[in-house]
Amino acid sequence: MSASRTSKSKIFDGRLNLEQQRKRAKELLKSARNRQADAQTRIAAHLPGKSIDDLQLADSQLVIARENGFASWPKLKSHIDRITEHQRQITSGHLPKLDTPETLHLRCGSDIRHGLELAGFAGAFMEFSDPFCQGPVPDVPLPDFIETRARFIASSYRIDFPDALSRLQREYAGLATLGDYDHVVLWFEHDSYDQLILAFLLDFIATLRPQTRLDLICVDRVPGVERFIGLGQLSPELLIWCWDNARAPVSDAMLAFGQKVWPAIRASSPDALRAVIDHGQSPIPCMIAALDRHLRELPDPENGLGLTQQLTLQIIRDHGPITAGKVFGHLMRSYDPLPFLGDLMFWDVLVDMGRTGSPLFTFPDDSAQTPWPDRTLSLTGTGNAVLSGTRNFMELYTGERWVGGIRITGAAAG
């Protein structure tokens, strides 16, 4: 599907070089001894109370290790040694035995498919990528549900409806074959795109009860990746790391939690999902934060904006005039606390924000001939007023959008 994880760019593949890390440690030590403020701040963050006068290379190496997500320098070194060995095996073609041809790798996108093949995984691959984080997710029978989703996808992501419907029907039908495999592994990360799909799959599996071994890989960070956004960032060696270190059996508690969360996502009120979030307990640690981020797409009482809409206006204000593609880059890299959108999904957000009689941002006159990522956005007076809270977007909005099962329309809608 055009809005799936195939559109998320690789930011960092997670490969660490030991010599480079040693060089960084020496540079940090030198900078700290020269009383450079940034170096001193980094030392204080990881070694509170440590005197700069007593600082040794081992101390700066420990800081570098902790900045990379490791408890100690030896653990960083051990990790790099293992990753380097995996890389050597992949390069030489002497791949480790990881799974079997009777294994199925199930992922909400195709972004890791090639990486799994390069790493030596022998199992089949299945994509299920209905993006529940956007569009209506109504509580209706499955055939009607699939048609509703296909109509949204076709309209929002500029896909022919028959193609969208055919693909969704194929993906949903594929789920009925999980019991045909000896081993099914669910590969997911921590954002709402992934976690809402995971909630659906857990609910589905709890009902289907396929006679197969089920494992879950669910990660919110990977050592050596400064800003982990998704599994698609990772090199093949790091996918092996996830397999070795983040894989766990799917428990009855996980299935029961999915059966609780999925109906709450589809509900026409946020109350049930807020109750899950407020309880704060989950057998899937990544899911609570993702559900909270999902509900932050509801209109803010002060300005009527969902969080993505608000951050978009903030980026245009802070950096504009700015192209839509660069707005998306800022959103993914630094502004969004838990980014979840693909590029076409973000374009749909921009289009939807334009459904108002008084625009929040403007385009140049030739925008119709320019690819959307290259179109320049400038904040209007209305956009500034909405962002400051002196006007409410919901009083201007003429469109319709959904947060799960919650339908949102503005006062200006016809």
pLDDT-based confidence at residue 365 (cuts at 50, 70, 90): low
**Residue 189 belongs to a domain with what CATH number?**
3.40.1360.10
- What's the whole-model pTM score? 0.87
**Of 75, 91, 107, which residue is a domain's last?**
91
Contact 146, 168 (CB under 8 A): yes
**How many Cα atoms occupy the beta-carbon half-sphere of 188 within 13 Å?**
29
147 and 257 both lie in a single domain:
yes
Tell me the mean pLDDT in the region 331-355. Answer: 95
Please write the tens of the pLDDT for every residue from 234-293. Answer: 989 999 999 999 999 999 999 999 999 999 999 999 999 999 999 989 999 899 999 999
217 and 344 both lie in a single domain:
no
DSSP assignment of 252-306 equals: HHHHHHHHHHHHHHHSSSSHHHHHHHHH---SSHHHHHHHHHHHTTSPPTTT---
Average pLDDT taken over every residue of the chain: 91
Please write the tens of the pLDDT for every residue from 152-177. Answer: 999 999 999 999 999 999 999 999 99
184 and 327 both lie in a single domain:
no
252 and 351 both lie in a single domain:
no
Nearest alpha-carbon partner for 2 in 150, 221, 119, 159: 159
- Whether the predicted pLDDT of 412 surpasses 80: no
Residues making up the chain, counted from first to last = 414
Containing H/E element for 86? helix 73-92
Contacts of 175 (CB under 8 A, 6+ apart): 128, 201, 204, 208
pLDDT at 414: 57
Tell me the mean pLDDT in the region 186-190. Answer: 97
- Domain containing 142 equals 93-261
